[in-house]
Amino acid sequence: MYSKTEAVIQNSKYVLSTVLGQGIIDITYQATDIESGQQVLIKTLSDNLRQHAHFDQFKQKFLLRAKRFASCQHPNLVRVLDSFEDAERPYLVMDYVPGQTLAEIRQENPSLSHSQAIHYVRQVGAALSLLHQNGLLHRNVRPQTIIRCPGSHKVILSDFHINWGLAPNLIQSQISSLAAGYAPPEQYLPQTHDTAATDIYALSATLYFLLTGQPPVAASVRESLLRQNLSPDNGYASQNALRDRRLLLDELRQCQSQINPAIAQAILHGLEMVPEQRPQTVGAWLALLPRQARPQSTTAQSVHSPKVKDTKPPESSQATPTVKVTHAATKKKRDQSPIRSQKLGSKKLALLASFTSKQGRLWRSLMLTAALAAAAGVGFGSAIRWNSPSEPGSTFLHTEQSFPPRQDWPVSDTPDLTVSDPLPSDTTTR
């Protein structure tokens, strides 16, 4: 339940209105900037710490971290507007970002595409990279702290754990408030040095949720399963760690059977139980994701237009009438379509390319030989036609020929040979 207040702070500049969240360490208000009239978020230390002996140290650490976060300006990171002390209490003022969280968007749109999920995660990763470059950690990455701006697919990472580890004796209370499934195992330890791998684990778990609709198994549960069968001689490098990855992968595939294998491997790599076995930078983890990741099934459609809500039902769910088309009409339409023209153009290009290959050279040789033979035939026929045959010896085509005298020939062209006639003298019988 939300409570109402009427507190006015910073010389009546801000009016605190609604309590959005309250824990053992801090409390977050929705407030109004009187000068601009805009809504803002204000975070401060809770009343529980004011009675602590080291409250002044906590206050100085709070203000110092606020200034460091204010120096990190990024389009996908909530902006820190102001920090100050009022009535011996430190305050941090941030932008109020309206819109739906990714948890709400995923609940309303179960068919969120792979490409859209990765698009959101890459934006969050860019914001985390800036924090890590400045020596800061977010420690609270999850779908509930990522807000999509209305009318666009731009997301803002908000609600960082500015007070994590501020009071060492209260760290156990902060551990109990960790989001199961998104917090890595090292955050459950009372004394540990968190690194960028801590946020990488949470970012991987966020992508897991966007694709499946549920967070991965909590790190504490995975840790318990590993310890039950852990061999004392080989630790996490044993087959138990491989078994943990296999179980996690099976659960991921059960929730999302059409997941891209590269995305699955990136998620598993980011959810390694040992921090040193995860990618050590956000950029290295993002490099494991495909640039254009599309689901293998056409049932999962993404909405890329800012003017269309993610909750719009797919058009395929509407009934469409069946229309019968004759073969002739289909063929005519196909021949006149741009796709058909493109195919015909592709065939011409392929035929032209074939002439540049070895087979093309052979065809050119044959065609050249045929052309030369045709030219020779045409020339020879023309020469015969244009040279007159009435003048013997005028050309080599009309050479003069001689024949034996006519008087030496027999009078009769066909001699009359009978049985009584003698045989010619040059033939004898044998």
DSSP for 280-315, written as a single string = SSHHHHHTTS-SS---SSTT------TTS-TTSPPG
Side-chain-side CA neighbours of residue 179 (13 Å): 20
- CB atoms inside a 10 Å sphere around CB 172: 11
Angle at alpha carbon of residue 122, lines to 120 and 125, rounded to 5°? 115
Q: Where in the chain is the domain with CATH 3.30.200.20?
A: 8-95
- What residues does CATH 1.10.510.10 cover in the chain? 100-286
Q: Dihedral of the CA atoms 165, 282, 253, 211 (nearest 10)? A: 80
Give residue 317's pLDDT: 35
Give the per-residue pLDDT at 298: 32
- Classify 129 as helix, strand or coil: helix
Q: In the numeric block, which tokens belong to residue 16?
A: 């605190």
Q: 8-95 has which fold? A: Phosphorylase Kinase; domain 1 (3.30.200)
pLDDT at 299: 35
Of 233, 227, 202, 81, residue with least CA distance to 132: 202
Residues 95/78, Cβ–Cβ less than 8 Å:
yes
Find, among 83, 179, 198, 192, the residue nearest to 131 by Cα: 198
Q: To which residue do tokens 């950690």 refer?
A: 137
Q: What is the pLDDT of residue 194?
A: 85
C-beta contacts of 188-191 below 8 A and 24+ residues apart: 188/219, 188/220, 188/223
pLDDT score recorded for residue 354: 47
How do the pLDDT tens digits run along the chain, 430 residues long?
Answer: 334 456 899 999 999 999 998 888 889 999 999 999 999 999 999 887 888 888 899 999 999 999 999 999 999 999 999 999 999 999 999 999 999 999 999 999 998 999 999 999 999 999 999 999 999 999 999 999 999 999 999 999 999 888 887 777 777 777 877 889 999 999 888 776 789 999 999 999 999 999 999 999 898 888 777 776 555 554 444 566 677 777 777 778 877 778 888 999 999 999 999 999 999 999 999 999 998 644 443 333 333 333 333 333 333 333 333 334 444 444 444 444 444 444 444 444 444 444 445 555 666 677 777 777 777 777 666 666 666 555 555 555 555 555 555 555 454 444 444 444 443 444 444 3
In 134-237, which ranges are continuous DSSP H helix?
Answer: 171-175, 196-212, 219-228
Query: Per the structure block, which two tokens stand in for 366?
Result: 């044959």
Write down the pLDDT at residue 137: 95
Beta bridge partners of 19: 29
Q: Could you give the 3-state DSSP secondary structure of residue 92?
A: strand
Which residue do the tokens 């010389």 mark? Answer: 11
Spatial distance between the Cα atoms of 41 and 406, rounded to a whole number of angstroms: 135
Domain 100-286 has CATH 1.25.40.10: no
* Separation of alpha carbons 275 and 195, rounded Å: 8
